[in-house]
Structures are given as structure tokens and as C-alpha cells.
Structure 1
Amino acid sequence: MEHRALWALKFLSFDPCDTAEKKRRQIIELEEMQLHAYDSSKNYKEKVKFYHDRKLVKEVFNPGQRVLLFNSRLKLFPGKLKSKWFGLFMVKNVLPHGVVELTDPASKDPQRSWVVSGQRLKHYLGGEVERLSTVMELVDPN
């Protein structure tokens, strides 16, 4: 019986030192694969970030410029032809980190101002804007 067990160990070449060495090599190989995958992922993210950053255009606002403000409020049924940009505002002050202080030149209180993110603004390149208002008189049919 003992002879068969020795024969099986020889047949399977079961040597505890060899199996421990083989297991250690496999662990090292897995760690190298993990490190390679990490480096590849890092390189890919850097390339994608560089590509996207290259496409971004940094807008610079100066006091006295006229700008339009993006209306980011959620509307359930917006009109198809309704613009998401509204107003004609003046830049009062430019603060750090892309924050811009705006004033409305058409308001009754010229000192009233508010602060918005510079990402919500774009330069106004047109001429003077006419603010139109329509009055509809309703007549009782009786």
C-alpha cells in the first residue's frame, strides 16, 4: 500500500518545495499583471483627460462686458424654439475660481447684483437688445 502511495507521489511529481516555488511565481506574475493593468488604465485616463482639456475653451470675462445667462431651470414642457439663453447682463466684477458678479442694466435698482458661475455665461456679440412687452386686452364677449 505504501509502495502505491510513493509511486503516486513520483507520478504526480509532488514535491512540497517545487509547489511552493510554483505558487510564489504565480503570485508574482499576478501582481505584475495587476500593476500593468493599473499603469495602462492610468495612461488611458491621462490621454482622455488631455484630449478633453484640449477641446475646452476657457472664456475670460472682464468688468463692463455684456453677457447672456444660461437658464438651467428644469422645465417640463419647454417650447421648441425657446432659447435657453436669456437676458443681457453686465459683468460687474470677476471673482476667483470662475465666479462672476452680474448686474441687470434694465433693472430699476442699478446697484442690485448677484453672483453666478462663469460656466453659465457666454459673451453677447450682438447689438442693442430691445426688450419688448405685449399687452393683450381681454374683452368680455357679453
Structure 2
Amino acid sequence: AVLGQRHEKNFRPIHYASKIITEAELNYTTTEKEMLAVVKVQLNELNELRDQAYENSLIYKEKTNRLHNSNIKDRVFNIGDRILLFNSRLKIFSGKLKSRWSGLFSISYVFPYGTVELSQPDEPSFKVNGHRLKHYFGGDRPKLVVPDLQTFPKDQ
């Protein structure tokens, strides 16, 4: 089927469509057939636009994944490293300034696939996943000291 216009005595094609017209569509008037052709052209263009949008979204996802993966640094843990452990249970309690990193541990053994055995002096060792750890590069962590509170007499 060809959608076109007559200009004076010449026929100018606008769009070619390869669809077989049904018997019901054969009974359409010329205007209805033209409208049918226009609708089919618009549907084809819409399908092409959808395919292009899908391809563009795949390209965007691939680029953002590459960028994200290039910024990730592997953390390598060795025996004897000093480590802080993320305490996920502290998320439940509110406290803006409360640190979610606990302890100062040392690595006693590194297992394959990211599992690490941590130890502290005078405490049993335990295993954790490496994604819950971060290196500690500072000095010895001071113990939390709570000063004795004194009551002051009211000024009169």
C-alpha cells in the first residue's frame, strides 16, 4: 500500500507500507484508507522510537556500571592488620553522632572469598565477612572515660 498525494496529474508517494488490506478494509473510503495508512506509519515510528530508547537505556546502564566499577577499590586484608568492624545493629537505634564502627581488632587469619577471622586480646576470635571491615590507621584508640559528675551549689 502506498500513501500519497496527487499534485495536478502527478502522484507523489509519501510512505510505503507492506500490509495486506483485509476485505473489510477494502470497503473503506479513500479517506479512511489514508487514515489507516497514517495510523500504521505512526505505529511503526513509535515502535522504532521505543527500540531506540531501549538501546539508549542499555548504553547508559553499561556506561554507569563501568564508571561505578572503575571507582571501586579492592580492600586487601593481611594477617596482623588493625581493623574496625561495622556494627549493623546500631542502625536500629537513633543517634546521629554515635559511631557505628566498633572495636579495634587484629586479623588472625584470612579465608578465601572475603571471610576474615578477627581477634582481640583476652577475647575469643570470630569470623566475619570482609565487607563489614575497614582498615584502622590511627594510634591506639583511647578507652571511653566517663568523668564523675559533680553537683554544683545553686547561686543565690
- TM-score w.r.t. length of structure 2: 0.59
The match for 2:95 is 78
Tell which has more relative contact order, 1 or 2 (C-alpha 8 A, sep 6+): 1
**CA offsets 1:30-87 (integer angstroms, 9 cap, x no match):** 322121111110111112222222222221111221111112213434263x322221
Is contact 1:104-1:113 (8 Å) kept? no
Q: Distance in 2 between matches of 1:97 and 1:19?
A: 64
Q: Percent identity?
A: 39
The match for 1:4 is none
Q: Does 1:29 align with 2:42?
A: no
Matching residue's letter, 1:113: F
Q: Does 1:39 align with 2:55?
A: yes
Is contact 1:67-1:122 (8 Å) kept? yes
The match for 1:121 is 133
Please give the residue correspondences for 1:1-142 in structure 2 after superposition, counting only pairs within 5 Å: 9-10=29-30, 12=31, 14-15=32-33, 24-73=40-89, 74-78=91-95, 80=97, 82-107=98-123, 109=124, 112-115=125-128, 117-129=129-141, 131=143
- TM-score w.r.t. length of structure 1: 0.64
Matching residue's letter, 2:126: S
Count of matched residue pairs: 120
Superposition RMSD in Å: 3.1
